[in-house]
Amino acid sequence: MTRKPERTHWVSYLRVSTAEQAERELSLTAQRRAVGDFAGRHGAVIDREYVEPGASGTDRHRPVLTRLLGDVLQPTSTVGTIVVHHTSRFARDATYARVAKSKLRDVGVRVLSVSQDLPDDPMGTLMEGFFECIDQYESELNGIRTAAAMREAVRQGYYPGGRAPYGFSTVPVEVHPGVVRHRLVVNETEADVVREIFSLYVSEAGSKVVARVLAQRGRRMRNGELWSKDAVLSLIAHPAVAGTLYWGRSHGRGRRDDSECLSLAVEPIVDAKTFALAKELRQRREPSRSPGRAAAKPHVLSGLIHCGKCSSTYQLETSGKRVDGTLYRYCYYNCRRANRTGVEACPGFRIATELLDQAVLGALADMICSPPRVTRLATATGFAPDQVREAWRALVTAEPDIGRGYVLHLIERIDIRGDRIVVTPRAGERIERGEEIAIDLP
């Protein structure tokens, strides 16, 4: 019989959430010191430290906490004690705290809190549950208070957000001793770029060209990336640059109407006329982006294709050409980076959708139609093997919905490497060829 290892070791779990730390939370250094002293008073040392920076106590999927639980729940673990500075460090969700601690108790691990040194008896357990509920209540109350405080700050003309929108900076203002609010002021360096973008957009031909000109002039976004078509469009649509910031526009995943938002007057970077002109031009130039138009049906290979040069995903690119008064639409797949940011970011490789679809679907049909399957189907249907193969190919390649169904079921990803396509099947699918299938374009 094997003896279970003795759980004599102590570990600590330290956590700060960025929002709390800004207010009054104990820093990691202070938590570390307090936890170390506490262990010392109990004649123990902290053998290992688990540090979770910038995570909320209501988050059940904190990576470091998950790792800690995984480690100590191992039957071979020698950890018997987890020390936290305060029960709220472990969790701000009472149910989660109960479940996790009960699992730990089952394997003989206790969670001790420096700030609430509780007796190891039923009264201690009761008090611990009580503290967990308070931690959750505090966290919920904080959320409500924060939202109300933000609304009030906007009413008083302060910017309650973190990052200023492009073109602006935040400046701290001490409204009462110890209470700091922020005002939004024009950031002259960025404002020059904003004016440049508007002047390019109203005089040149659309967001993609603007993005490319910016790249050629060496302009970068705040994060150091090249300006993309979408970034240009989102900037010219942002009312703050014309003097009104709407607070609370994004709401969950959706977007509130401007009339439902609080507005904050800021110093305009562009005049109202230019802003309105850009808006009007946008509606004319980028019709696919104006609201009210139904989303295009996904194309056969949408979402699966990746660029072999920059590993960005591929997207559809359409162009219309008029020949003798008739509008012909051409459809291509191309690298998203090449398409949105320009060849400065990735040279891309443009490929007609028809050509790529047929090449991939044809290869797919051949893969599914392995000789044993053809034989089985031929026997079952009474058709000749060649007829089975033909019918199968026609079904997969000529019916987009069926083709897409098979593609989604069987293919993990498609990489475009020049004129060579590499198809990676989904793991476990019975495609009777190697790991990857290379297709050469005609």
Pick from 170, 172, 216, 222: which is nearest to 194 by CA? 222
Smaller CB separation from Zn ion, 57 or 348: 348
Token couple for 116: 């609430």
Q: Candidates 36-44, 95-103, 159-167, 309-317 — which segment interacts with Zn ion by CB under 5 A?
A: 309-317
Least spacing, CB of residue 298 vs Zn ion, in Å: 20
Task: CB nearer to Zn ion: give 308 or 400.
Answer: 308
Using the rule CB under 5 A, is 307 a contact of Zn ion?
yes
Q: Are 246 and 261 spatial neighbours (Cβ–Cβ below 8 Å)?
A: yes
**Selected range binding Zn ion among 209-217, 301-309, 364-372, 422-430, rule: CB under 5 A:** 301-309
Helix-helix angle 400-410:353-368, to 10 degrees: 60
- Range in contact with Zn ion (rule: CB under 5 A) among 98-106, 331-339, 363-371, 386-394: 331-339
Site string for Zn ion, 252-291 (x = CB under 5 A): ----------------------------------------
Number of residues that bind Zn ion (CB under 5 A): 7
Contact between 344 and Zn ion by CB under 5 A: the answer reads: no
Assigned token pair, 400: 């987009």
- Angstrom distance (rounded) from CA 70 to CA 275: 55
Which residue, 85 or 337, has its beta carbon nearer to Zn ion? 337
Give whichever of 185 and 422 is closer to Zn ion, judged by the CB atom. 422
- Is residue 335 part of the contact set for Zn ion (CB under 5 A)? yes
Beta-carbon contacts of 173 under 8 Å, excluding residues fewer than 6 positions away, are 158, 180, 181, 182, 183
Q: Are strands 305-307 and 314-323 parallel, antiparallel or unpaired?
A: unpaired
Considering the rule CB under 5 A, would residue 361 count as an interface residue with Zn ion?
A: no
What backbone phi and psi angles, to 5 degrees, belong to 319?
-140, 145
Among candidates 344, 355, 361, 369, which has minimal Cα distance to 398?
Answer: 361
310 binds Zn ion (CB under 5 A): yes
Q: Is the Cβ–Cβ distance between 191 and 268 less than 8 Å? A: no
350 touches Zn ion (CB under 5 A): no
346: contact with Zn ion by CB under 5 A: yes
Least separation in angstroms between residue 336's CB and Zn ion is: 7
User: Toward Zn ion, which CB reaches closer, 85 or 306?
Assistant: 306
What is the rounded distance in angstroms from the CA atom of residue 241 to the CA atom of residue 234? 11
Q: Which residues bind Zn ion (CB under 5 A)?
A: 307, 309-310, 312, 335, 337, 346
